[in-house]
Structure 1
Amino acid sequence: MPLIEVQTEINADIQTCFDLARDVGFYQKSLKKTIEIPIAGKISGLIEKGDYVTWETNHLVFTQLLVLKVSEFINPVLFVDEMVKGDFKSYRHEHIFKNNKNGTIMTDRFYFKSPYGIIGKIVDEIILKRYMRKLIITRNKALKIKAEQIAAKQKIEVLSKMSF
């Protein structure tokens, strides 16, 4: 089963990063080009353990429905969404967050497998692995920018309340 792992350093606190990563609306906005629309289940707000989200997506010229369930959840260090219905044979996305000296390290581990036996394996290695990595990196760049904007605003607010 292919694995894609992407680490992103973010100069913001872990809770801000965690909450942005599980915000359905932010996720949708961060991937505008692929037209990801939540159409059932938790369609807005912050996902929690046990929540389902049905996404209508458009990837590689194919429109598909993908039903994901949040199967594991430890605030603010981990959540896992897994496909319960969709076009993949299997799909598991681990979102892992750790504090570091500059803020947060966000790690995505995405395991997936296409159907169709050997043809699916070839498609996974030649097309989907590269495509999905690019998708995760795009989302993570948007999350990094937003989280660092929030962190900067919070610092300004703290400084403005201090008397010198």
Structure 2
Amino acid sequence: MPRFEIVTHVMASPERVFDISLDVDVHSASMAGSSEKAVGGVTTGGLKLGDTVTWQARHFGIRWRMTSTISAYDRPGHFVDQQVSGPFKRWHHAHYFRPYGHGGTAMSDVIEFVAPLGPLGRIAELLALRRYMPHLIRVRNRYIRQVAEAPPPPD
């Protein structure tokens, strides 16, 4: 089973980074390149334990839908989203947030996934998904960092 971890340093509190990471609108904006948007379940605002969201996106020229749920939630340290239905045989994404430096956060994404279709899925993992999936998470994390580090709007 492919597994990877990406650590991103953000100059904002763990609480702020945690909340931004669970915001459906931020996620959609971060994945604009693949036209990802929420089309079912919670479709705007913040997610919490037990919430489900159905995402629609275009990857590799194909439209995909994936429904995931927030299966673990311990603010501001950790949450997990995992696929309930969708393109993967398994998708488990654990998010960790710990203080780092002077007011910053080390945000860690630990992802395990299995492509469908047995041997054909393993070939897809080797040829494309092992590079593509970390790239998507890095794009997402750059956007989260940008939002989290931006000064708050004036009152």
* TM-score relative to the length of structure 2: 0.95
Does structure 2 retain, via aligned residues, the 8 Å contact 1:2–1:125? no
RMSD over equivalenced CA pairs, Å: 1.6
**Contact kept? 1:19, 1:46, Cα under 8 Å:** yes
Unaligned runs of 5+ in 1: 158-164
The structure whose residues are more often helix, as a share, is 1
In structure 2, the residue matched to 1:113 is 114
Q: Identify unmatched segments of 5+ residues in structure 2.
A: none
SS at match of 2:150: helix
Shift of 1:124: 0.7
Alpha-carbon shift at residue 146 of structure 1 (Å): 1.2
Question: What letter matches 2:125 in structure 1?
Answer: D
Partner of 1:51: 51
SS of equivalent to 1:44: coil
Task: Give the SS at the match of 1:12.
Answer: coil
Show the 5 A alignment for 1:62-73: 62-73=62-73
The share of aligned pairs that are identical, in percent, is 32
> Residue 160 of structure 1 corresponds to which residue in structure 2?
none
For residue 125 of structure 2, give the secondary structure of its aligned residue in structure 1.
helix
Partner of 2:16: 16
- CA shift, 1:139, in A, is 0.5
Task: Give me the whole-angstrom Cα distance separating, in 1, the residues matched to 2:135 and 2:14.
Answer: 23
Secondary structure of the residue aligned to 1:92 is strand
Are residues 1:133 and 2:134 paired? yes
TM-score by length of 1: 0.90
What's the CA shift string for 1:5-47, capped at 9, x where partnerless? 1000011111110011000000000111101110110101110
Larger radius of gyration: 1
C-alpha distance in 1 between matches for 2:128 and 2:24: 26
Counterpart contact for 1:16–1:147, Cα < 8 Å: yes
**Equivalence for 1:143:** 144
CA distance in 1, matches of 2:39, 2:120: 30
Match of 1:74 in 2: 74
> How far does residue 60 in structure 1 lie from its aligned partner after superposition?
1.0
Runs of 4+ in 1 over 3 A off after TM superposition: none
Report the count of equivalent residues. Answer: 154
Question: Deviation per CA, 1:78-124, whole angstroms, max 9, x where unpaired?
Answer: 11011011111000011110011231000001111011112211211
